[in-house]
Amino acid sequence: MDTHSTPHPLPLPSAELRDDAGMAAAPEPAASTTAPGDLQPVMDIPVRMRAILGRARMDLNQLLRLKAGEVVELDRRAGEPVDIFVNNRFIARGEVVLIDNDLGVTLTEIVRQDR
């Protein structure tokens, strides 16, 4: 991937986006170099990041009849932010962008987590 490319927001979801009713890959966040001293030993532990385009509900009968090329309608409208999870914990919302031929997510809102 060209690291000098500028991300471009996607105006509308493409057919490729709608084919994946579950998840879209998101780039890993850059490691912070200003971690507090007590967190430094865990800063290199890998985490799993997911960007959820939307969700759909259907009964098992509908699921079993799905064929390649069919579109599954999601519960989100075009242009709505996607939910971003790290290790199954909701952490942010973002906008899907296209970087060359890869998908990415621009973080638009960090969600505060009360402990």
Burial class (CB in 10 A: 0-12, 13-18, 19+), 92: buried
| Tens digits of residue pLDDT in 30-81 | 555 555 668 888 899 999 999 999 999 999 999 999 999 999 999 999 889 9
The larger pLDDT score, comparing residue 112 to residue 58, is at: 58
* Cβ neighbours of 45 (radius 10 Å): 7
Question: Could you state, in order of their start, the residue ranges of all structural domains in the chain?
Answer: 8-27+47-110
Q: Is 41 helix (H, G, I), strand (E, B) or coil?
A: helix
What's 42's DSSP letter? G
Structurally, at CATH architecture level, domain 8-27+47-110 sits in: Roll (2.30)
Output the six-digit token pair for 11.
Answer: 């105006």
Closest CA to 7 of 87, 110, 100: 100
